[in-house]
C-alpha cells in the first residue's frame, strides 16, 4: 500500500516538478562525479582512491583497505615507497613496494617492485619480456589509508546483482522523494 502512495505523489506532479525530480537525481550523480574528477585534478592521479585487492602487502595493508594516492610528476620515486601501478595490457592496479631503482640524469627511472608478503619480486607479474617498470605505469603513490571500508567495493564487484539492486533502489528513491 505504501508503494502505491508513492506513485500517487508522482502522478500528481506537474511537468516542471517532474523535471525537477529528474534534475535532483542528475545533480546528486553530478556532485559525486565532480568530487571524483576534482580529486583527480588535485592529486594528478587517474585513480585517486583504490581498494587493496590482495593480501600481498600484509601487515601494512590488508584486503579491503582504501588507499589515497597522489601522482605529482615532480615528486621523485624512491626505494621503499609504496606505489600503485598498472601493468601494460591489464586493468587491475597492483599495490607493492619499490625494491630497486635506476635513475638517469634527465629524470627517467626504471624500478622493480615486490609485495611485502610475497616471496619473490614482481618480475613474474610483469608483461613477458618486461624486467622493469617505468614512470608511466604508475597510477600513484599511497599517501594515506582507511581500513576495511573498501570491502563494500569488493562485495559489489563480486556480486554485481547486489550492486545493481542497491543503485536502482537509491535511484528510484531519489526520483520519487519530494523535498
Q: Which of 45, 65, 122, 137 is catalytic?
A: 122
**Residue 56 annotated in active site:** yes
| Shortest distance in whole angstroms from residue 28 CB to other proteins | 10
Nearer to other proteins, 2 or 92 (CB): 2
Q: How far apart are CA 31 and CA 21, in angstroms?
A: 15
Nearer to other proteins, 48 or 115 (CB): 48
| Shortest distance in whole angstroms from residue 45 CB to other proteins | 8
CB atoms within 10 A of CB 54: 16
Three-state secondary structure call for residue 29: helix
Nearer to other proteins, 1 or 120 (CB): 1
Residues that bind other proteins (CB under 8 A): 2, 5, 8-9, 11-12, 14, 16, 19-20, 23-24, 26-27, 29-31, 33-34, 37-38, 40-41, 44, 46, 178-179
Residue 129, C-alpha cell as written in the block: 619480456
Q: Report the run of H or E that residue 144 belongs to, with start and end.
A: strand 138-146
For residue 27, what are the contacts with CB-CB under 8 A and spacing of at least 6?
Answer: none
| Shortest distance in whole angstroms from residue 73 CB to other proteins | 9
Helix segments in 44-159, DSSP class H: 151-158
**Active site members:** 56, 96, 122
Amino acid at each position: 500500500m505504501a508503494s502505491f502512495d508513492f506513485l500517487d505523489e508522482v502522478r500528481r506532479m506537474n511537468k516542471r516538478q517532474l523535471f525537477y525530480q529528474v534534475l535532483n537525481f542528475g545533480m546528486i550523480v553530478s556532485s559525486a562525479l565532480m568530487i571524483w574528477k576534482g580529486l583527480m585534478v588535485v592529486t594528478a592521479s587517474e585513480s585517486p582512491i583504490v581498494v587493496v585487492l590482495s593480501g600481498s602487502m600484509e601487515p601494512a595493508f590488508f584486503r579491503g583497505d582504501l588507499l589515497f594516492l597522489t601522482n605529482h610528476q615532480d615528486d621523485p620515486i624512491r626505494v621503499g615507497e609504496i606505489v600503485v601501478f598498472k601493468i601494460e595490457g591489464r586493468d587491475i592496479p597492483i599495490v607493492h613496494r619499490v625494491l630497486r631503482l635506476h635513475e638517469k640524469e634527465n629524470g627517467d627511472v626504471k624500478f622493480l617492485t615486490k609485495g611485502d608478503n610475497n616471496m619473490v619480486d614482481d618480475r613474474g607479474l610483469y608483461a613477458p619480456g618486461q624486467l622493469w617498470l617505468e614512470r608511466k605505469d604508475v597510477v600513484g603513490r599511497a599517501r594515506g589509508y582507511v581500513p576495511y571500508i573498501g570491502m563494500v567495493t569488493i562485495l559489489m564487484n563480486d556480486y554485481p546483482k547486489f550492486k545493481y539492486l542497491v543503485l536502482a533502489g537509491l535511484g528510484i528513491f531519489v526520483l520519487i522523494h519530494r523535498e
